[in-house]
Structure 1
Amino acid sequence: MSGITQAVITDAGVSSRFLPIVKSIPKSFIPLGNKPIIQILVEEALEAGLTDIIIVCREDMKSIFEDYFSNPRDDLKEFLVSMGKSDRFDSVSEVLSYPKITIITQDPTLPYGTAAPVLSAKPYLKPGEPFVFMQGDDVVIAHKRDCQILVETFEEYPDVSGIMMAEEITTDVVHKYGMIKTKGQGDDELDHVVEKPSAEDTPSLLASYGRFLYKYEIFDYMNAERTGKDNELWNVDALTAMAHDKTVKVVRNQGTWVTTGDPVNYLKAQILFGMHDGTTSEMIKDLVSNL
């Protein structure tokens, strides 16, 4: 067994595409079905045995995360019991049964970028131990989700320094994502990532998205001085630098990755999530077919 227990989940951006709602709640609290996105990510981590979960958020949203994962709401429970609807509190009890989740805020002294939340979590991670990094925009719909695949892959290949999930996409959307160049003739070892290339310049059709496993040595390649494009701290820059010296494995997912980073893709995620949910799948399929 790998013994990996740590996961870092991030929702520290402004998410301006979702204004005005995100002026009052974190973007990851927008729901898919009846669960906020952040809960779906936490469940994915817990399924893989990742019980030491750190959520990195904005300072002005920290209390919302803390309330959601720890407020027992005894008053609500008592009300539902009095109405003969105590079973409706079961979903709340499930959230409250999770292992303790550590909520931290992103270090405001760090440059902007996808690596800033990881660096912010460093003081809370166990030195020398691997961890999974999950970006809050990305949801995976699958019977075996990515965190489980990352942990199992590390158990099989414990000498690698990092693992990244990937999905093959079509040429018309490569300009939106980080595209993976692998080493040699294979397609399972990272050489580098090209951010948002044109269709003509993309090194492959394998897209990187927000699921990674890192050994602690990632911090040898990730610090506040290592800014890249647009003077930002890029997670994939640290990953590429590490791939020059070490082995970073590329693994294809076993389901469907959907980004919820903009309203159109969020709507797509809602439909796909509903179709995958056994309690709503037939209703959603009928709804879509009759539009």
Structure 2
Amino acid sequence: MNRKIKNSATRIRKAVIPAAGLGTRFLPATKALPKEMLPIVDIPTIQYIVEEAVESGIEEILIITNSTKHVMENHFDKNYELEERLKASGKMKQLEQIDEIANLANIFYIRQKEPKGLGDAILCAKSFIGDEPFAVLLGDDVVVNEGGKAALKQLIDQYEETRASIVGVQTVDKKDVSKYGIVAPSQSHPASGRLVKLSDMVEKPATDQAPSQMAVLGRYVLNPEIFELLETQGRGAGNEIQLTDAIKRLMDRQAVYAYDFEGIRYDVGDKFGFIKATIDFSLKREDLKDKVQEYINTLVTK
């Protein structure tokens, strides 16, 4: 059954960033510090996500938090005392950096009262989004596409062509499919370049039951009908309300596509992925690359 998509001419101007998770994989660091504030060199991961949204044309961002994450809100706010001290010390470059952070975008916050899963976190954004299509960016996935479009912008461009919900995917190793939501391409609609129509999605399937190796990797553009489905979505994998399950039901109403976005994706919710990101980002910094490369060379020759 194909239902008419609401407000199909509306452009994507709002984004949701779920950031209410407890970050237990990074304990004890995340006992007092939100995992989204763990820095890749000297920039918190959440800032990379916000910057990608802004680069993609997003104007308003809602971050889903919990009661322990005040420091994240403070990061994107003004700090007049710090600014005055930097100014008095003549540290104008640092002053410019923190001023830019406070002016990145219009950022709003709402708390997810219970940890009931990603689907429930997205549902918290219903009033903020209203009757518009919107973007979702997960904070565990930092994507770098040097010289090209940001990952989210690639999905937004596809939405403007199809007016259908788009999930961002990349191919993962077969042994890793059980970590992700995995998509099933439609057999009756051949892929068009990197864009493929979907017939199914499975949340964290067993290796021998995965319909493909294309994993949903933290970027979505969704039509607002998803909220109606999330309101009635039962618990799924992990006894949580899964966004994947609601998107699967959305396929019964309207077309849903996957887009194999370009870029290097870092799973910064994983310790090794976080280390890889830190090394790669430091090697691209003029103030660090020589020292880091020299140290790596000493390790290799030992």
For 2:157, the equivalent position in structure 1 comes to 152
Partner residue of 1:175?
Answer: 178
Q: TM-score normalised to the size of structure 1?
A: 0.90
State the TM-score, normalizing by the size of structure 2.
Answer: 0.87
Match of 1:84 in 2: 90
Counterpart of 1:68 (choices 54, 75, 91) is: 75
| 1:254 counterpart (262, 272, 275) | 262
Q: Deviations over 1:228-249 (max 9, x none)?
A: 2343100100111112331111
SS at match of 1:261: coil
Give me the whole-angstrom Cα distance separating, in 2, the residues matched to 1:228 and 1:121. Answer: 20
Q: Is the 8 A contact 1:190 1:240 kept in 2?
A: no
Partner AA of 1:69 in structure 2: F
Alpha carbons 1:169, 1:206 under 8 Å: kept = yes
**1:36 alignment partner AA:** P
- Equivalent of 1:95, from 101, 108, 114? 101
Aligned partners of 1:16 and 1:22 also within 8 Å: yes
Q: Is the 8 A contact 2:233 2:245 kept in 1?
A: no
Superposition deviation, residue 286 in structure 1: 4.8
The answer to whether the aligner puts 1:124 opposite 2:128 as a matched pair is yes
Which has the larger displacement, 203-212 or 80-89? Answer: 80-89
Q: Could you report, residue by residue, the CA deviation over 1:206-235 in whole angstroms, capped at 9, with x for unpaired residues?
A: 111211000101112212552223431001
Question: Could you tell me how far apart the structure 2 residues matched to 1:232 and 1:65 are?
Answer: 25
Q: Which shows bigger deviation, 19-28 or 82-91?
A: 82-91
Q: For 1:244, what is the secondary structure of its paired residue?
A: coil
CA distance in 1, matches of 2:96, 2:187: 52
Q: How many angstroms does 1:98 deviate by? A: 2.1
Q: Which residue of 1 aligns with 2:206?
A: 198
Contact 1:224 1:233 in 2 (8 A): no
How many residue pairs get aligned? The number is: 284
Q: Equivalent residue of 1:200, what SS?
A: helix
* Superposed displacement of residue 154, structure 1: 1.2
Distance 2:298 2:202 in 1: 40
State the secondary structure of the residue aligned to 2:200: strand
Aligned residue for 1:23? 31
- Cα deviation, 1:168-212, whole Å, max 9, x if unaligned, reads 122232222222111115340122222333333222121112110
Aligned counterpart for 2:218 among listed residues 201, 204, 210:
210
Q: Are 1:5 and 2:13 an aligned pair?
A: yes
**Which residue does the alignment assign to 1:226?**
234
210-219 or 83-92: which moved more? 83-92
What is the root-mean-square deviation in Å for CA atoms of aligned residues?
Answer: 2.1
Partners in 2 of 1:183 and 1:284 — Cα distance?
46
- Within a 5 Å distance, the mapping from 1:95-114 to structure 2 comes to 95-108=101-114, 112-114=116-118
Query: Which of these residues, 184, 189, 195, is aligned with residue 197 of structure 2?
Result: 189
Offset, 1:44: 0.4
Q: Work out the CA distance in 2 between the residues paired with 1:35 and 1:75.
A: 20
Secondary structure class of the residue paired with 2:81: helix
Q: Which runs of 5+ in 1 are unaligned?
A: none
Displacement of 1:33 in angstroms is 2.4
